[in-house]
């Protein structure tokens, strides 16, 4: 497991995210009967950069941080992928996340390849000045790799629009021209897109609603639980509530809360804004973060980190639909159990692809220097996500597999086609 330890983990289970990503790829490549040479090309990252980043801390001392940028594949367009700041970042985790980006962009059919970056650090314990110096040093070190037509970073766990602004500025300073298209998830006033902040959650809610339609679940009486109350999770809770769902439980790194009559999401958001956590919210009982996953609900949204639904707790999952706002929350062993139980898992490469889709819109707007209203962004997002859901659902039915394998078959097929047409050079 790469991030936050869960007490229910089974040590015999494969929890290395890169090996998990490889095994998900292999399962689908086998069903696609992908030729062995092409399989070897597509499963590996194209470039993997490991960095030592010296930063002068506020104490006056220098601390050397470890950072990474991995470009998995660029057959279908420039590489695209977020940057994560977290104490448990690892090279293998970044490689896994980079490959998931390749399959994600192909699933929603946007013209990007996949990349990801990460720095081992705890931004919650760093000052703003330290974060800026670390970010600029990292941006400088990767500035030969990134660029609007090469590789375009974005926010991920514990990174935000301010960090994107520093990266954009560092890149622009070293390249001699202002270059807003080098990152997405920027502040609106620097060329960011309307709707980008909500896009991951909005896309997740679009596909969760489509899945409810397919399964005949009435939204007016539907219930949901959300693990992780950060950018993706808190906005998903708000948008699900707006769609008619009763949100009965949520959690963050400090624990969970439950109210079977439904949480007041607006008050909860205000409470979290004030205290930094959902823990201690009045009008709800305290439960563990693990227990939030095991509630009987129509839709469960894991929106925290990897390896949360494993072989150890998969049998206890009672949701009808699992909509993966997080990347990699379900292990392959757990996938098999959930599939047997008849639970529809909307895989990360589909369910959280709204973020990268609106990042693509942001990049298009930056290059065209022509900016859209939020309604336009959301309409286009709904169209892309609806089409992606239908494509994945159709592929899963055609191959008689779960939705994750269906998404991989669809995505790998698209990337393989592009790679074959371009050919292997020289």
- Write out the residues near ligand NAD by the rule CB under 6 A: 4, 155-158, 200, 227-233, 251-253, 289, 303-305, 325-327, 352, 355
Beta-carbon-side half-sphere exposure of residue 37 (alpha carbons within 13 Å)? 4
| 361/365 Cα distance (integer angstroms) | 6
Interatomic CA distance for residues 245 and 266, integer angstroms: 14
At closest approach, how far in Å is the CB of 352 from ligand NAD? 4
For ligand NAD, the closer CB: 211 or 217? 211
Output 39 or 67, the one with its CB closest to ligand NAD.
Answer: 67
Smallest separation (angstroms) from ligand NAD to the CB of 200: 4
Given the residues 80, 95, 104, 116, the one annotated as active site = 116
Q: How far is CA 182 from CA 67, 84, 147, 196, in A?
A: 19, 17, 5, 15
Nearest CB to ligand NAD, comparing residues 229 and 271 = 229
Task: Considering the complex, state which of residue 27 and residue 352 has its C-beta at the smaller distance from ligand NAD.
Answer: 352
Q: Minimum distance between the CB of residue 160 and ligand NAD, rounded to whole angstroms?
A: 8
Letter string b/e over residues 125-152, b meaning 16 or more CB atoms within 10 A of that residue's CB: ebeeebbbbbbbbbbebbbebbebeebb
Would strands 299-302 and 223-227 be described as parallel, antiparallel, or unpaired? parallel
Measured at CB, which residue is nearest to ligand NAD? 230
Residue 363, both tokens: 């990049």
Give me the least distance between CB of 7 and ligand NAD, in Å please.
10
Decide if 296 contacts 199 (C-beta within 8 A): no
Give me the least distance between CB of 278 and ligand NAD, in Å please: 8
Least Å distance between CB 287 and ligand NAD?
A: 11
Least separation in angstroms between CB 222 and ligand NAD:
22
> Which residue's CB is nearer to ligand NAD, number 75 or number 289?
289
Nearer to ligand NAD, 55 or 293 (CB): 293
Question: Euclidean distance between the first and final Cα of the chain, in Å?
Answer: 39
Closer of 110 and 303 to ligand NAD (Cβ): 303
Q: What are the φ and ψ backbone dihedral angles of 28, each rounded to 5 degrees?
A: -75, -40
> Which CB atom, from 112 or from 229, has the smaller least distance to ligand NAD?
229
Q: For this structure, is 116 an active site residue? A: yes
Cis, peptide link before residue 307, omega less than 30° from 0: no
Token representation of residue 379: 């309409």
Sign of CA dihedral 180, 181, 183, 189: positive
Q: Please give the positions annotated as active site.
A: 116
């Amino acid at each position: 497991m790469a991030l936050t330890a869960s007490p229910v983990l089974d040590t015999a289970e494969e929890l290395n995210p890169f090996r998990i990503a490889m095994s998900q790829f292999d399962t689908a490549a086998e069903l696609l009967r992908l030729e062995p040479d092409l399989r070897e090309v597509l499963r590996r990252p194209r470039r993997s950069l490991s960095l030592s980043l010296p930063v002068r801390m506020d104490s006056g001392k220098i601390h050397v941080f470890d950072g990474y940028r991995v470009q998995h594949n660029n057959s279908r367009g420039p590489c695209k992928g977020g940057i994560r700041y977290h104490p448990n970042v690892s090279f293998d985790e970044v490689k896994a996340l980079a490959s998931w980006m390749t399959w994600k962009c192909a699933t929603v059919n946007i013209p990007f390849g996949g990349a990801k970056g990460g720095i081992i650090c705890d931004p919650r314990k760093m000052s703003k000045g330290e974060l800026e110096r670390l970010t600029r040093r990292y941006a400088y070190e990767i500035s030969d790799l990134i660029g609007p037509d090469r590789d375009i970073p974005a926010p991920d766990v514990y990174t935000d629009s301010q960090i994107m602004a520093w990266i954009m500025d560092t890149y622009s300073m070293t390249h001699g021209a202002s270059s807003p298209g080098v990152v997405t998830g920027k502040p609106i006033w620097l060329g960011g897109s309307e709707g980008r902040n909500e896009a991951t959650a909005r896309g997740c809610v679009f596909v969760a609603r489509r899945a409810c339609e397919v399964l005949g679940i009435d939204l007016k009486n539907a219930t949901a639980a959300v693990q992780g109350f950060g950018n993706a999770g808190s906005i998903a809770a708000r948008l699900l509530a707006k769609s008619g769902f009763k949100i009965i439980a949520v959690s963050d790194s400090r624990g969970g809360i439950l109210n079977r009559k439904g949480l007041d999401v607006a008050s909860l958001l205000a409470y979290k804004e004030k205290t930094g956590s959902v823990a201690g919210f009045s009008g709800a009982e305290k439960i563990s973060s693990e227990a939030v996953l095991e509630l009987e609900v129509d839709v469960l949204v894991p929106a925290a980190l990897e390896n949360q639904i494993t072989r150890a707790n998969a049998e206890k999952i009672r949701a009808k639909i699992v909509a993966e706002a997080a990347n990699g929350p379900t292990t392959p062993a757990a996938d098999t159990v959930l599939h047997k139980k008849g639970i529809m898992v909307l895989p990360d490469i589909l369910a959280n692809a709204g973020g990268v889709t609106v990042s693509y819109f942001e990049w298009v707007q930056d290059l065209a220097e022509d900016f859209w209203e939020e309604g336009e962004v959301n309409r286009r997002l709904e169209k892309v996500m609806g089409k992606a859901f239908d494509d994945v659902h159709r592929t899963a039915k055609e191959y008689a597999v779960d939705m994750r394998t269906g998404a991989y078959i669809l995505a790998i097929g698209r990337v393989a086609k592009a790679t074959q047409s371009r050919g292997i050079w020289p």
